[in-house]
Amino acid sequence: MRFSYLTVLLAVTAFSCKNTNKSTDETATVADSTHTQLITNPITDGFYADPSIVEADGKFYIYATKDPWGKEDLAVLESSDFKNWELKSINWPTKEACTSPTSNGSMVWAPSVIKAQNGKYYMYVSVGSEVWAGVAESPLGPWKNAKEDNSPLIKGDLFPEYHMIDAEAFIDDDGQAYLYWGSGLNWVNGHCFVVKLKEDMITFDGEIKDVTPANYFEAPIMIKRDSTYYLMYSDGKVIEDTYKVRYATGDNPYGPFTEASNSPILSTETDSITYSPGHHTVFTKNGQDYILYHRHSANSPNSEDLLRELCVDSLNYTPEGLIKAVKPSGIAAFEE
């Protein structure tokens, strides 16, 4: 790799400047590798995708699709320091347990796990191209279908012209929960739907609304900062280098959502390492936001035999409230 005089000068400048606002930009902290231990990408061995994360009792739990293209169950990774991960097993969901008359042959994909106001954990997971809802008292379960009749929460034929997968729950500041979901078929026509949830986290409260923003394909996730709602999502083909993370903003959970002027904020990099990044989640630790996502591993560029790996980077904002472009570089290790 060639470095210019300007590159060196900028690096020295960044090294010498201390970051006084961690919630705005953690870049300087990450760059100072002399004094700070780093968490580098990929964060763990193995091929996983579509991550979701919760933190409970001093441990992190990542739920993810097993590559290639999903398996009979999910991957669950546990860590107390975000550096050393142990693969765990949970009893639900499985392809066998989550099959209905309207299911297709698709495997177990794209979990989303959230702790609800009632203290229980809820999972929304795609199996057979349908959304299933699970509930547990703790992150590792035991899990079970949250519906007493063991049926899917969202059947595959609800809106047959779209793909009923990639559900993500969001709980607003007032405690109200919402569920977002939706993808496209044959790499086109992705749509995003949202519905308000009742306290049981599985009963729809009102009508389903189509809130599709520009350039949307799949994998919606909602975050809120101050009074702005950020609908983040993925666009492009996951089997190619066109997969990327975009976002749109609105002033309420239903939008309308306008794609931001600097979207997308994470896409394939010329370094040939960050290839086809997307289907992410966002979490907060010590006042700093982070983006947890997958990218293609070096073993499967441009391949339909999909082998993806998990990555984490800082997620920062401009003074105007835009999400800054993500700089794939890993993060500073969390303080003990």
Q: What confidence category does residue 273 fall into, taking pLDDT thresholds of 50, 70 and 90? A: confident
Instruction: Tell me whether residue 5 is in a domain.
Output: no
% of the chain beyond a pLDDT of 70: 86
pTM: 0.88
Per-residue pLDDT of 189-230, as tens digits, reads 899 999 999 999 999 999 999 999 999 999 999 999 999 999
Give Cβ neighbours of residue 184 (< 8 Å, ≥ 6 apart). Answer: 162, 163, 190, 191, 217, 218
pLDDT in the model for residue 290: 98
Mean pLDDT of the 5-31 span: 37
Mean pLDDT of the 175-193 span: 96
pLDDT in the model for residue 303: 54
pLDDT in the model for residue 269: 78
Q: Which structural domain, as residue segments, surrounds residue 39?
A: 22-332
How many domains are there within the chain? 1
Locate 9 and state its tokens.
């000068």
pLDDT in the model for residue 33: 37
Residue 218 annotated as catalytic:
yes
SS3 for 59?
strand
Per-residue pLDDT of 24-61, as tens digits, reads 444 333 334 345 689 999 999 999 999 999 999 999 99
Range with lowest mean pLDDT among 256-265, 292-301, 314-323:
292-301
pLDDT in the model for residue 272: 64
Per-residue pLDDT of 107-142, as tens digits, reads 999 999 999 999 999 999 999 999 999 999 999 999
Q: What is the mean pLDDT of the chain?
A: 89
% of the chain beyond a pLDDT of 90: 82
Instruction: Tell me whether residue 207 is in a domain.
Output: yes
pLDDT in the model for residue 271: 63
Mean pLDDT of the 58-74 span: 97
Instruction: Tell me whether residue 35 is in a domain.
Output: yes
Instruction: Tell me whether residue 219 is in a domain.
Output: yes
Instruction: Tell me whether residue 6 is in a domain.
Output: no
| pLDDT(240) > 90 | no
Per-residue pLDDT of 102-116, as tens digits, reads 999 999 999 999 999
Strands 168-171 and 121-127, by their bridges, are unpaired
Instruction: Tell me whether residue 10 is in a domain.
Output: no
Sign of CA dihedral 203, 206, 207, 213: negative
pLDDT in the model for residue 243: 95
**DSSP state letter for 187:** T
- Spell out the long-range contacts of 19-26 with Cβ–Cβ below 8 A and sequence spacing 24 or more: 22/286, 22/287, 22/288, 23/287, 23/288, 23/289, 24/316, 24/317, 24/319, 25/314, 25/316, 25/324, 26/288, 26/314, 26/316, 26/331, 26/332
Mean pLDDT of the 145-173 span: 97
Of 50, 166, 168, 313, the active-site residue reads 50
Instruction: Tell me whether residue 170 is in a domain.
Output: yes
pLDDT in the model for residue 18: 33
CATH number, residue 158: 2.115.10.20
pLDDT in the model for residue 299: 64
Instruction: Tell me whether residue 17 is in a domain.
Output: no
Of 218, 235, 259, 309, the active-site residue reads 218
SS3 for 276?
coil
